[in-house]
Amino acid sequence: MHHPLCFALLAAGQLLLAIGLPAAAASAGGSAAAGGWLAALIAAGLCLDNGVLAAGGPLLARERLLPLSRLRYLLHALVTPLLLPLALLTASAGGLKVAAALLPLAWGLAALWILAAWGVGYRHLDLELQRRGALVRHHNASRSGQPWLRLLLVAVVLVILGLGSRVPDPDVARAMVVGGLAMLAGALLARRLGLAVANLGELVLMASLGTALLL
């Protein structure tokens, strides 16, 4: 799955979530409304990420690919840690009382994660141009901090799965578990099947959490 069209479709899916979630979750109020806005922010970042991948060839021809690739990696550093408070907001909306109590801690950990991603990841970017068929993108050749950042991502997916297993509302629980498993499967299969599979896992996760906030 290395065709730009795959990423264009993924960008469209994230865009729909970014536009629709705040208004849809607003009527629920409380944790669901806050979660809707946070999910929309994350989806907007992932929409731009996939959009840059989809338009890599034309952007390269116009000498816009490198700065937008840097922006793509910056957005990942900023929005990926926000999955942690989003998971707790979703669990809280599903009736898990301890999730609301842990939310300040989640925001603090997300802030530390962002600082770490900036300090050991983004500041050491070493972007190399890659071509796979019609797909043109920049890849980060630097391994600075990457194993630890990947471990953090796996940890937050496990948190989502753990919270989903304890949420009293069965529909919310099911949505969280499905989203977490999709994200985990996409990450594991990406090396064999391509980056689009990992990004598809992100889309399923965001759609699942968004659905859970509306239940």
| Sequence-distant (≥ 6) Cβ neighbours of residue 117 within 8 angstroms | 76, 77, 78, 80, 81, 145, 149
CA gap 78, 195 in Å, rounded: 19
How much is the pLDDT for 199? 96
- Does the structure show a pLDDT above 80 at 29? no
Confidence of residue 119 (pLDDT cuts 50, 70, 90): confident
Between residues 179 and 123, the one the model is more confident about = 179
Q: Mean pLDDT for the chain?
A: 93
| Sequence-distant (≥ 6) Cβ neighbours of residue 105 within 8 angstroms | none
* Token pair for 59: 């952007």
Mean pLDDT of 41-59: 96
Per-residue pLDDT of 147-175, as tens digits, reads 888 899 999 999 999 999 999 999 999 99
CA gap 110, 158 in Å, rounded: 15
Mean pLDDT of 69-93: 95
- Does the structure show a pLDDT above 80 at 99? yes
The domain ranges of the chain are 4-214
How much is the pLDDT for 172? 96
Mean pLDDT of 123-141: 92
Residue 166's identity, in one-letter code, is: R
Architecture of domain 4-214: Up-down Bundle (1.20)
How much is the pLDDT for 37? 94
Find tokens 């109590």 and name the residue.
Answer: 101
C-alpha pair distances (Å), 74 with each of 123, 140, 154: 10, 12, 19
- Does the structure show a pLDDT above 70 at 1? no
